[in-house]
Structure 1
Amino acid sequence: MDQRSTTTPAQPISIPRWEFIALAAALMATNALAIDIMLPALQQMGDSLGVESENHRQYVISAYFGGMALALLPYGPISDRFGRRGPLLFGLGVYVAAAFAAAFAPNFETLLVLRFIQGAGAASTRVIAISMVRDRYAGRQMAEIMSLVFMVFMVIPVIAPALGQAIMIFSEWHMIFLCMAIVALVITIWAAMRMPETLAQSERRPLTFASIGQAFRMVVTTRISLCYTLASTLVFGALFGFINSAQQVYVGIYGVGVWFPVIFAAIALMMSLSSFLNSRLVVRVGMRRLSHGAVIGLTIVATIWLTLSLVGELPLWLFIGLFALIMFQFGWIGSNFNSLAMEPLGRMAGTASSVQAFFQTFGGAVVGVIIGQAFDGTTTPLAAGYAGLGLLAIVLVLIAERGRLFQPQHEQHTAAH
């Protein structure tokens, strides 16, 4: 294992720690914005573009994930060779242009193509934001920073559906894409003006097939990295499945109408709260203890949900209660699993982040499509997805840790300097 805390930055961080965290979160939040702001508009969008099947309307989200997944792989090696800033700003530019063009899409097919391109641009933020954090921090310090990033990042699912609902009240679905483009443009300008390069010239890797292949092999043959990557892929696949069918669940099954964004935001707040608690606890308690307990807890609650759903549809209050408990676990799983997966791979943070993000996004999107398309007017397919995938994630964690759970295993405590 590479025991170095981090690489030496190309230039000193010239912005405060809080701004570095906020900007990294904003970069990652462009992805949440591209998904969550659209949820209230899926029905009108489908009606406007002649999409009769409610399940087929989910492809607006799936196309975005597909474009992101395929573009994730090149961004890592490119950012390891040329630095973080250039590829990041290029991807953001693609995202903004595609979002703006989508507002004028004449048909559903064109919209899906533009969403695919938008996802390809967004892949830069998914890979490079995490790489920038890994350039600066390691071990529990990285987990702490990632928890704070996720906490700020989770503000978007809180406000985005409400923003989308407000746009739908005063305008139509086209304006959602214009709003998305404007917000992303502001973040792009902020990053261009304030985010420094974090990868030193001495740490850049040559962009050759041999060097890329060597890095990829290390990622997929490092047991801890691979198993935690696959475990997070399964857990996030369950989340993607819910996102795909969230509008159908809340509006179709429970008939919450305009209250959909409020309920969605309340659930997202649980994730934000747990991410904040993780940032406060992870240095003292450790990544493994928190994340292992969380994935077990998620699986238990999902199994209870599945059992009850087989008897009959849950009342809204019980569904929200159980699902809130599940989403609370995500704050202790996502950032910690990512940090554990990245920990052995500090020398190739960009390539490692892109490979892991590819697995998580592509695999999660495929799993999410399967769960979303299985929607049958009940929450049973969702419950089965969470319970089954949670159980498989536990198995992968056991493989990663050689059968031992909750053991610290010399997690690093120091930040980079």
Structure 2
Amino acid sequence: MGFLEFVTLTAVMQSMTALTIDAMLPALPEIGRDLSTSHPNDVQLVILIMLLGFGLGQILYGPVSDSIGRKPPIYVGFAIYVLGGLVCIFSQTLFIMLCGRFLQGVGIASPRIVMNAVIRDRFKGAEMARVMSFVMAVFILIPVIAPSIGQLILIFFNWQAIFWMFLLFSVLVLTWFSIRLPETLLPLNRKVFSLHITLEGVVEVIRTRTALGYTLATGFLFSPFVGYLSSAQQIFADGYGKKDEFPLLFASLALTFGVASLVNARLVYRFGLRKLCFASAAVITGLSTIFLFGILWMEKMPSLWLFMAFMMVVFPGIAFLFGNLNALAMEPLGHIAGVGAAVIGSLSSLISIPLGILIARAFNGTVLPLVTGFAICGLAVLFSIIWAEKTSLSFYRI
């Protein structure tokens, strides 16, 4: 498999998480009505519970992939994903829907975490960060078009049809993966699976200051991002009254993410991973703090275009950090890539999801909870980066 096809396949497989989230966003009000949710914010759980399953599921696949190879765990994950989709299609209550979404999250964690290990099998260091940036650039096409796909389906069908689309897409992707991608973990490099070895790997990740620090940074970074994903439809439709324009507004922000990922591939070589991460986190934190105080001073909802301008600066910062933080966390863990990727992904998700739930559930018709989340979590990212490297601020001057 050539480099371009590998990047495209990896991006498509990892983008299934975004597809499973973003294509559902236009359908949330309809799902809430059909399943008789008691509070408008309850429908956010359709997104949040899926992310919870995704976070918990990651810890399962990495150690197994280190033992039996990269491909079998992905097959299992896709099977769980399909089962969860069927549960959602035939659900009659919110609880059953959430059970199905949890299964989907657990299942879709397999390509997300195992493909990271596949990348680590083939690349390392700055080259790995460059590959992940290209993956992210392709990956971001899904969030750009997914809400429009969901809204288009709703014009002709009901929300259950979106889940049928998920199942069809997963079958096509799995077929491509099974035929074209060879196994990247040779039998010579595989480890005997045991709970003891897995726990030893977990302890090693936690005791490795660099890995743990950048994992914490990743978790804090994605906390407000999770809050945004869960409440985006409410922010634009209810807060700004732009229900019909929601897919376009969501896509425009996602596009800035993708463009920044392409730029990141060049910046990594020019400035280095660490300095670029610190600078990006500083910009996000500083701008979010200024914007927060501006909202409090104005005592009213900022205009839509002011909010969009703010997000169009924050999103590229997140894009610069996304692949780079993960590459830095994985850098000392090449000998336990599967376990390392699983622990990093699971721990960062278990940080970001509860905090993201707090941010999303605090939605009150304004963007104040979201901007507050970006400011506070941005500060936590900065402190985590400094702690991970245990160095002075002068090191991060660009």
TM-score, normalization by structure 2? 0.97
| Paired amino acid for 2:160 | H
Structure 2 gaps, min length 5: none
1:37, 1:106 → 2: CA distance? 20
Does residue 374 (structure 1) correspond to residue 362 (structure 2)? The answer is: yes
Equivalent of 2:262 in 262, 273, 276: 276
Q: Deviations over 1:368-406 (max 9, x none)?
A: 101111111111111110000000110111111113358
Distance 2:188 2:262 in 1: 35
Question: Match of 1:221?
Answer: 207
Q: Structure 2 vs 1, CA of residues 406 and 90 (structure 1 numbering), >3 Å: closer, same or farther?
A: farther
Distance 1:367 1:172 in 2: 32
In structure 1, C-alpha distance between the alignment counterparts of 2:270 and 2:313, rounded to whole Å? 23
Hey, what does 2:56 align to over in structure 1? Answer: 70
Cα pair distance change 1:206/1:297, threshold 3 Å: same
Counterparts in 2 of 1:257 and 1:389: CA distance versus 1, 3 Å? same
Question: 1:331 maps to what in 2?
Answer: 319
Instruction: For 1:350 and 1:384, locate their aligned partners in 2 and report how far apart those are by CA, in whole Å.
Output: 35
1:195 pairs with 2:167: no
Q: Is residue 2:25 matched to residue 1:39?
A: yes
Query: Residue in 1 aligned with 2:104?
Result: 118
Report the AA paired with residue 321 of structure 1: A
For 1:102 and 1:271, the matched residues in 2 are separated by 30
Moved more, 102-111 or 24-33: 102-111
- 1:253-332 → structure 2 map (5 Å cutoff): 253-310=239-296, 311=298, 312-332=300-320
Offset, 1:44: 0.7
Which residue of structure 2 aligns with residue 48 of structure 1? 34
- Is structure 2 residue 88 aligned with structure 1 residue 108? no
Q: What pairs with 1:335-350 in structure 2 (closer than 5 Å)?
A: 335-350=323-338
Distance 1:44 1:74 in 2: 33
User: Which whole-Å deviations, capped at 9, do the CAs of 1:120-140 have from their partners, x for residues lacking one?
Assistant: 101111210110000110110
> For the residues of structure 2 that align with 1:213 and 1:129, how far apart are their CA atoms?
22
Letter of the 2:9 counterpart: L
Determine if the alignment matches structure 1 residue 160 to structure 2 residue 146: yes
Q: 1:289·1:406 contact (CA, 8 Å) conserved in 2?
A: no
Confirm or deny that 1:208 pairs with 2:197.
no
Pairing of 1:137-176 with structure 2 (within 5 A):
137-176=123-162
Say whether the 8 Å CA contact 1:298–1:329 is kept in structure 2: yes
Could you tell me how far 1:217 is from its partner in structure 2? Answer: 0.9
Q: CA deviation at 1:110?
A: 0.9
Q: Which amino acid aligns with 1:211?
A: I
**Matching residue's letter, 1:339:** A
Is 1:19 matched with 2:8?
no
| 8 Å contact kept, 1:253–1:377 | yes
Deviation of 1:284 (Å): 2.9
SS at structure 1 position matched to 2:244: helix
Structure 1: give runs of 5+ residues left out of the alignment: 1-14, 409-417
- C-alpha separation in 1, matches of 2:394 and 2:334: 23
TM-score by length of 1: 0.92
Which residue identity is paired with 1:126? Answer: R
How has the CA–CA distance of structure 1 residues 406 and 266 changed in structure 2, closer, same or farther, with 3 Å as cutoff? farther
**C-alpha contact 1:288 1:406 (8 A) present in aligned 2:** no
Question: In the alignment, residue 347 of structure 2 is paired with which amino acid?
Answer: F
Contact 1:98/1:118 (<8 A) preserved: yes
Shift of 1:407: 4.5
Q: Secondary structure at the match of 2:245?
A: helix
CA distances 1:317-349 after superposition (whole Å, capped 9, x unpaired): 100000111001111000000000000000000
For 2:111, give the aligned amino acid: T
The aligned residue for residue 231 of structure 2 is 245
Q: Which amino acid aligns with 1:200?
A: L
The answer as to whether partners of 1:237 and 1:367 remain within 8 angstroms in 2 is: yes
Letter in 2 for 1:120: V
Letter in 1 for 2:50: Y
Residue 72 of structure 1 contacts residue 124 of structure 1 at CA under 8 Å; is this kept in 2? Answer: yes
Looking at structure 2, the residues matched to 101 and 80 of structure 1 have their Cα atoms a distance apart, in angstroms, of 30
The equivalent position to 2:167 in structure 1, one of 167, 178, 181, is 181
Q: Quote the sequence identity (%).
A: 36
Instruction: String of CA shifts for 1:234-289, please: whole Å, max 9, x gaps.
Output: 11011001111101100001011211000000000010000000112212321112
Distance 1:93 1:301 in 2: 43
Paired AA for residue 11 in structure 2: A
Is the contact made by 2:84 and 2:99 (CA closer than 8 Å) also made in structure 1? Answer: no
8 Å CA contact retained: 2:217, 2:381 = yes
